[in-house]
């Protein structure tokens, strides 16, 4: 999604409004030129930031998935350890 260049109709109406403000033709062309460069740069920045955000979201989702897998493995290990001990008591308690 970009904001520039404007649709044909909107761009023409914008230029007409600028002309209606009493600007000289040369000033108008300079303004349009500078504004075009600026807005094109903003669109490029938007695309770069959108791509970076997508990358960061993928990384966060991957980290969340890995964390969940580690929690599952830890719970499995605790269950296995608890079920392998007599009466479910820890080894430390049995030794004391």
- Residue range(s) defining the domain that contains residue 91: 8-95
Q: Is residue 63 part of a domain?
A: yes
Domain total of the chain: 1
Count CA within 13 A, CB hemisphere, residue 18.
16
And the tokens for 15? 């230029």
Q: Is residue 2 part of a domain?
A: no
What residues contact residue 1 under an 8 Å CB cut-off, 6+ apart? 46
Q: Is residue 61 part of a domain?
A: yes
CA distance 72 to 67: 9
Output the pLDDT for position 30.
Answer: 80
Q: From 71, 93, 90, select the one nearest 81 (Cα to Cα).
A: 90
The answer on pLDDT for 1 being more than 90 is no
Q: Is residue 26 part of a domain?
A: yes
Output the pLDDT for position 67.
Answer: 97
pTM for the full model? 0.51
Q: Is residue 1 part of a domain?
A: no
At 52-81, the pLDDT tens digits run: 999 999 999 999 999 999 999 999 999 998
Output the pLDDT for position 6.
Answer: 58
Q: Is residue 86 part of a domain?
A: yes
The answer on pLDDT for 24 being more than 50 is yes
């Amino acid at each position: 999604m970009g904001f520039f260049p404007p649709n044909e109709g909107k761009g023409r109406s914008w230029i007409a409004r600028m002309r209606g403000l009493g600007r000289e033709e040369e000033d108008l062309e300079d303004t349009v030129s500078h504004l075009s460069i600026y807005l094109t740069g903003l669109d490029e920045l938007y695309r770069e930031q959108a791509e970076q955000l997508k990358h960061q979201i993928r990384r966060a989702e991957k980290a969340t998935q890995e964390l969940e897998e580690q929690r599952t493995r830890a719970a499995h290990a605790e269950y296995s350890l608890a079920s392998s001990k007599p009466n479910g008591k820890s080894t430390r308690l049995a030794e004391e």
